[in-house]
Amino acid sequence: MLKRLLVSSLLLISLFTISCKNLKDTIEENIIGIDKTYAGIWNVDETPNVSDVNFLGSYIIIKEDGSMDFYFGKVNKTFNFSSGQILKVKNGYIAVYNEMDYNNSNITSKEHLLDMTFEDINNNDIIFSSIANITYTVEENNNVDTAIKGVFIKQAE
């Protein structure tokens, strides 16, 4: 009886361990990086009153590995986000890019934050995403700039 109890206990422990490992792997796979269904080039919608004028000329390139490049036209700069800098939160994604700016012997820390939600469109039983709502903010030395909001449209392939 004791032997049977010991074998049963070991079996349950090993099953529990495997289940926890599989759950951990599943969670890690699903919360880091942007889903590859959104891969492609997304250009800002420059229609008046749709996107903030500060976004003019901006675009986002989402890669199949979950990373992305954000070109911010206002400052003519590209921010490269690795998949590890992008987290899935509810129905969207938050991307965080940290940088240190060394100007005139002053060190300034900046945190660039992109909050993204995608709108799925159903067309004849084919679901695809063609619109991304983006909010961009910069925190510099614990001071947050005004949020810039815009709509980005996926470029046809």
If one counts the domains in the chain, the total is 2
Assess whether 27 and 79 both reside in one domain: no
Assess whether 12 and 59 both reside in one domain: no
Average of pLDDT values for 79-101? Answer: 91
Assess whether 61 and 99 both reside in one domain: yes
Q: What are 2-16's pLDDT values in tens digits?
A: 556 554 554 555 545
Which amino acid type is present at position 151? V
Name the more confident of 115 and 12. Answer: 115
Q: How far apart are CA 111 and CA 94, in angstroms?
A: 12
Say whether pLDDT at 24 is over 60. Answer: no
Assess whether 4 and 76 both reside in one domain: no
Assess whether 56 and 16 both reside in one domain: no
Assess whether 22 and 47 both reside in one domain: no
Q: What are 37-85's pLDDT values in tens digits?
A: 899 999 999 888 889 999 999 999 999 999 999 999 999 999 999 999 9
Query: What's the pLDDT score for residue 81?
Result: 95
Give the CATH number of the domain where residue 121 resides. 2.40.128
Helix (H, G, I), strand (E, B), or coil: what is residue 111? strand
Name the more confident of 46 and 23. Answer: 46
Assess whether 42 and 22 both reside in one domain: no
- What is the bridge-based pairing of β-strands 59-62 and 40-44? antiparallel
pTM: 0.73
3-state helix, strand, coil in the chain (%, to 5): 25, 50, 25
Write down the residue that tokens 């495997």 correspond to: 18
Assess whether 41 and 107 both reside in one domain: yes
Query: What's the pLDDT score for residue 124?
Result: 65
Q: How far apart are CA 17 and CA 99, in angstroms?
A: 40
Assess whether 72 and 15 both reside in one domain: no
Name the more confident of 107 and 57. Answer: 57
Name 80's bridge partners.
69
The counts of H helices and E strands in the chain are: 1, 10
Return left, alpha or beta for 86; rule: phi > 0 is left, psi -120 to 50 is alpha, else beta. beta
Assess whether 72 and 8 both reside in one domain: no
Helix (H, G, I), strand (E, B), or coil: what is residue 125? coil
Q: How far apart are CA 49 and CA 132, in angstroms?
A: 16
Per-position DSSP letters for 57-98, written without gaps between them: T-EEEE-TTS-EEEEETTTTEEEEE-GGGEEEETTEEEEEEE
Query: What's the pLDDT score for residue 57?
Result: 94
Say whether pLDDT at 122 is over 50. Answer: yes
Query: What's the pLDDT score for residue 1?
Result: 57
Assess whether 84 and 131 both reside in one domain: yes
What is the domain extent for residue 18? 1-31
Assess whether 10 and 85 both reside in one domain: no
Q: How far apart are CA 57 and CA 150, in angstroms?
A: 12
